[in-house]
Amino acid sequence: MSIQIMDIVGRISYNCDILFRVIDIKEEHETKKAILYGEDIRLIADAPYEDLIVIGGLERRKKSQEIETLEEQSYNLFRQDVDLIKQKQEYEASGGYTKTLNYFQIPGRVLHLDGDPLYLKKCLMLYEKIGVPVTGVHCNEKEMAVKIGTLIDYYRPDILVITGHDSYSKAKGKITDINAYRHSRDFVQTVREARKRVPHLDQLVIFAGACQSHFESLIQAGANFASSPSRVNIHALDPVYIVAKISFTPFMERINVWDVLRNTLTGEKGLGGIETRGVLRTGMPYNSVIHEENL
């Protein structure tokens, strides 16, 4: 069976452990090579054409169901966390604002830059399901650093996500060498440009990175959270769970890093960060806003 662009494939030499989407096929010196994007993880790879096999519908559904089960578990754990935060806020608001719970809340606004339009779509659906205000922008990883300043000025986000695809190649250098990574340098430069606009770590919270990204360089550049400390693959939705936790945490509270990571699908091997303030703000009165809208 011939392999076409956008086919879902597995690598025979890796026992088809990861589902990939074929995004390009190149032919050099009479050998064919495919460029692959992970279907559920933020990994970019290339593979010899003959090492690929198209994954049939039955096998795809089986793997998709396994992933969906993990996603549902992660979502339910996150939902429990959010409910606890809201209960705490209601209790505090009843004493600190008004006895009748006459208050409103403004969660942090997210600007999500993604190198993959399909991943971006999945993430936006999850943001909407959770209730996080978000603007999504599809942008090639190599163009992010040039565009980020204008985007920050226009959208003025509280939280910035810089993600897409990445990978480490042992053939290109040591694991400490950022030049051995597909897009880590692009992510680092984008974080630096963002920090030129908003230097303070608590005025703009940044998540940056993808699969196997150079974690240390991203943190040094100014990211609050990044991937991937152990150079492992991360799930496509992991950035959403991290920034949603920040979006719903009150700005007077500091977030323990483990509290952010524990409900992700990847955990501390793939994700890490530094202590950061939440960005949720509470105000009052709520009723006057409703009355003004009805006038």
For 67-101, the DSSP string reads HHHHHHHHHHHHHHHHHHHHHHHHHHHHHHT-TT-
Residue 194 confidence (pLDDT) above 60: yes
132-146, 193-207, 265-279: segment of lowest average pLDDT: 265-279
Task: Give the pLDDT mean for 199-222.
Answer: 96
Residues 14 and 116 in one domain: no
Residues 68-82 have pLDDT tens digits of 777 787 777 777 777
Q: Which of 80, 140, 147 is nearest to 114 (CA)?
A: 140
Residues 276 and 156 in one domain: yes
Task: Give the pLDDT mean for 184-212.
Answer: 96
Q: Does 292 fall in a domain?
A: no
Residue 213 confidence (pLDDT) above 90: yes
Q: Does 232 fall in a domain?
A: yes
Share of the chain above pLDDT 90, in %: 45
Residues 103-150 have pLDDT tens digits of 788 999 999 999 999 889 989 999 998 899 999 999 999 999 999 999
Cis omega (within 30 of 0) on the bond before 228? yes
Residue 244 confidence (pLDDT) above 50: yes
Residues 278 and 178 in one domain: yes
Q: 3-state DSSP call for residue 120?
A: helix
Q: Does 82 fall in a domain?
A: yes
Domain count, the chain: 2
Distance CA 207, CA 225 (A): 5
Residues 146 and 20 in one domain: no
Task: Catalogue the long-range contacts made by 64-73 (C-beta closer than 8 Å, 24 or more residues apart).
Answer: 67/40, 70/235, 70/265, 71/235, 71/237, 71/265
**Average pLDDT for the chain:** 86
Residues 263 and 196 in one domain: yes
Residues 267 and 179 in one domain: yes
Residues 50 and 116 in one domain: no
Residues 147 and 37 in one domain: no
Residues 50 and 111 in one domain: no
Q: Which domain holds residue 225?
A: 74-283
Adjacent-strand bridge partners of 38: 20
Q: In sequence order, what are the residues at sequence separation of 6 or more whose Cβ sits closer than 8 angstroms to the Cβ of residue 27? A: 33
What CATH number is associated with residue 100? 3.40.50.280
Distance CA 128, CA 125 (A): 5
Which helix (DSSP H) or strand (DSSP E) does residue 245 occupy?
helix 238-247
Residues 35 and 135 in one domain: no
Task: Output the pLDDT for position 290.
Answer: 47
Q: Does 150 fall in a domain?
A: yes
Higher pLDDT, 201 or 55: 201
Residues 184 and 88 in one domain: yes
Q: Does 20 fall in a domain?
A: yes
Q: Does 187 fall in a domain?
A: yes
Q: Does 68 fall in a domain?
A: no
Q: Does 93 fall in a domain?
A: yes
Residues 47 and 172 in one domain: no
In this prediction the pTM is 0.82
Task: Give the pLDDT mean for 256-284.
Answer: 86
